[in-house]
Amino acid sequence: MEAVWEGATGKAHARTTDISEGGCFVDTHGQTAVGEMLTLQLTTPDGESITVQAEVIYHLPRFGFGVRFKEISDSDRARLKALLG
């Protein structure tokens, strides 16, 4: 899914891979720090958005970073689960 992330170190457009109900990898050249909290807005294939608060759990320079979802509304969680179904 396409995404926009925003945290203390900046804001950038990205693509997500390896997505699950608990987190994902954010494919971006943007810089983050492990432990940083982000707002991640995912764009679903139908053009809707899912917003989650996420924590950076690892960072791969020049490739992106992995996040664990920390806060997501029940409705967005249900939509994400349906997409992954």
- CA atoms of 76 and 11, how far apart (whole Å): 21
Q: How many domains does the chain have?
A: 1
Write out pLDDT tens, residues 41-82. Answer: 999 999 999 999 999 999 998 899 999 999 999 999 999 999
Range of the domain at 55: 2-84
Write out pLDDT tens, residues 7-26. Answer: 997 899 999 999 999 999 99
Q: Say how far residue 17 (Cα) sits from the centre of its chain.
A: 9
Nearest to 55 by CA among 8, 12, 13, 18: 8
**pTM for this model (two decimals):** 0.90
| CATH number, domain containing residue 42 | 2.40.10.220
What is the DSSP secondary structure assignment for residue 83, as one 8-state letter? H
